[in-house]
Amino acid sequence: MRLLKRFYLREFLVAFAVVVLGLSAMLSCFDLINQMDKLKSDGPYGFIKYILLVMPQYIVYTMPMAVLFASLFTVGHAVRNRETVAVMAAGGRMRALFMPLAAAGALLALASFGLSQFLAPSAMRQAKAMTGSAGTALFKEGTIWVRAEDGSLVRFSLYSKEAESARQVDIFQFSNGMLAKRIDAGGAKYRDGRWVLSNVTAYDLLHPSYSKSAQMTLSGFIDPKFLDKQVLTSDEMGITELYRYTRRLRQAGIRSIKLDVDVQSRFAYPVVDFFMVLFATAVSLRRGMSGLAAASLGVAVSLFYWLLYTFSLSLGYSALLPPLTAAWAVPLAFAAVSMWLFIKIRD
């Protein structure tokens, strides 16, 4: 029994590695083709580097399909060879026999979360820099340090590209290499081609004095499109940075529904890796499948799940569903079905 468990686990992991690496490499190559005209590279080395940088994100995306296919293949192979019949005749239990696969699925779910938290975001930022589409300013949790068109150094303490507005803007103006003036504003909004600052305090440091005004208008300051380019996408932020950014936006009274949904989906998406194993095990034990049948079912179920999940997320982005519901409804429904099928396995 123990030898069989090890054999099935090894077969599962090999099939998983082949599928996930093959799919992610293929998608990475397609991505490279789409970005070829923008890529700033040193020939073949640059192309390979770009593929390796975008692969972690595609590995996260394709892991559910790979886990499902590997489970269908491994368990289906055991059923077709009548190995499960022999185990049951010897008094073995089916759920116990394939429990190592479930444990591997749980570990892969944790690995997927870790990959999307630590490696994939930084790799995506580097890949974006290679295409020349990355921002050149410093961005961290909504704070942007940038050089304005007049040479001033500007800090947007919290910028929202959806609203084209910011909270707490500090402008540092220089003269002959010396800090000459500082302008502190409680907020800023881009209107009709101009930035409108509110609750403004201006400090003249060369002739020590200050003045206050309710509003100040700046023309030819900073193009919002340039600022938008500096803001990292959710794929370029780890879950910690993404959560802190959305929390700061909420505390400032700025709601970004898309980011709220993305925070929840970052937790929800990896969970399905575990339940894909339970689903595939239960389905395969009902009827042994050939490799072609396993691949077909794996693709069909994965596409169906992906379509439902993306549809649910789109409802969340459109504010038709709460972020929590949009991100978790489909994974939890699939989890419930998988658990029910797994419990119904005849031992």
Question: What is the per-residue pLDDT across 57-78, written as a single tens digit (0 to 9) for each?
Answer: 999 999 999 999 899 888 888 8
Where residue 275 falls among pLDDT bands split at 50, 70, 90? very high
- Tell whether the model's pLDDT for residue 290 goes beyond 60: no
For 38, the domain range is 2-133+255-343
Q: Which whole number is the average pLDDT over 3-17?
A: 90
- 85/67 same-domain check: yes
Q: Is there a contact between 298 and 65 (Cβ–Cβ < 8 Å)?
A: yes
**Percentage of the chain exceeding pLDDT 90:** 39
Q: Which of 75-84, 105-114, 195-204 has the lowest mean pLDDT?
A: 75-84
CB crowding 318-331: b at 16 or more within 10 Å, else e:
eeebbbebbbbbbb
Predicted confidence (pLDDT) per residue in 313-327, tens digit: 999 999 899 999 999
Q: What is the pLDDT of residue 41?
A: 63
Angle at which helices 291-317 and 323-343 cross, to 10°: 150
Number of domains in the chain: 2
Grouping H, G, I as helix, E, B as strand and the rest as coil, residue 270 is helix
- 78/185 same-domain check: no
Identify the DSSP state of 171. Answer: E
- 115/51 same-domain check: yes
CB crowding 179-213: b at 16 or more within 10 Å, else e:
ebbbbbbebbebeeeebbbeebebeeeeeeeeeee
- 123/180 same-domain check: no
159 belongs to a structural domain:
yes
Which has more pLDDT, 301 or 201?
A: 201
Secondary structure string (H, E, C) spanning 176-239: CCEEEEEEEEEEEEEECCEEEEEEEEEEECCCCEEEEEEEEEEECCCCHHHHHHHCCCHHHCCH
pTM: 0.82
- 65/152 same-domain check: no
Where residue 328 falls among pLDDT bands split at 50, 70, 90? very high
Q: Which residue type is seen at 89?
A: A
Q: What is the pLDDT of residue 289?
A: 56
- 155/71 same-domain check: no
